[in-house]
Amino acid sequence: MIEGMSTRHIVIRPADRTDLPALNRLIRSSYEAYGPPFYAARTLAGAIDAVMRATPAIIASGRFYVAEDDRRVLGCGGWGGTPLLNGAADLRQVATAPSAAGRGVGAAIVAHCEAEAAFAGARDFDCVSTLIAEGFYARLGFRHLRFTSLTVAGQPFAAVLMRKRLTPQG
């Protein structure tokens, strides 16, 4: 458990299938709240509808987490990859509810994922960041590798490739 800026505790736990509706509402509200300064409305709407959501597969991986406070979903995120094969893991779908902004929820999720990935043997943590989150990841120690463009719902979607060296665990 971590303690947020309030006196309530934020718990990070593995997501399960029953979390899907709440996670998808959270991810949608996060992108709708934070995205407009960075992306055109049409681009953002297409991306949200096409890929900005949790899926049963990512939840079934056991590597996708929910941050909650009194059973309210405040954030989510996970990791993937095969660190024992190539030494790298990938950070995935980190999102924070707009009502929880600035409480350390996103940073706690990333730290949890980093520790899990390092324990699994990852030396590096890669992230394909939206323009929205580049500054957030930079504050957490990720370094900018290069800008890239993804094709999402037939539209170009600007992103940033980022990487962080992990501290060995276990």
pLDDT score at 48:
86
115-137 mean pLDDT: 94
pLDDT score at 8:
56
* Total tally of structural domains belonging to the chain: 1
CA 112 to chain centre: 11
pLDDT digits (tens, 9 = 90+) for 43-98: 888 888 887 788 888 899 999 999 999 889 999 999 998 777 778 999 999 999 99
Q: How far apart are CA 84 and CA 145, in angstroms?
A: 22
Report CA-CA distances (Å) from 131 to 16, 41, 73, 83, 100.
Answer: 28, 14, 24, 26, 20
pLDDT score at 55:
83
Segments forming the whole domain that contains residue 45? 2-165
CATH number of the domain to which 92 belongs: 3.40.630.30
Is pLDDT at 1 greater than 50 in this prediction? no
Whether 103 is in a domain gets the answer yes
Q: How far apart are CA 28 and CA 142, in angstroms?
A: 24
Whether 170 is in a domain gets the answer no
Whether 142 is in a domain gets the answer yes
Is pLDDT at 141 greater than 70 in this prediction? yes
What's the CA dihedral at 136, 134, 130, 8 to 10 degrees? 0
5-29 mean pLDDT: 85
SS3 26: helix
Q: How far apart are CA 132 and CA 38, in angstroms?
A: 6
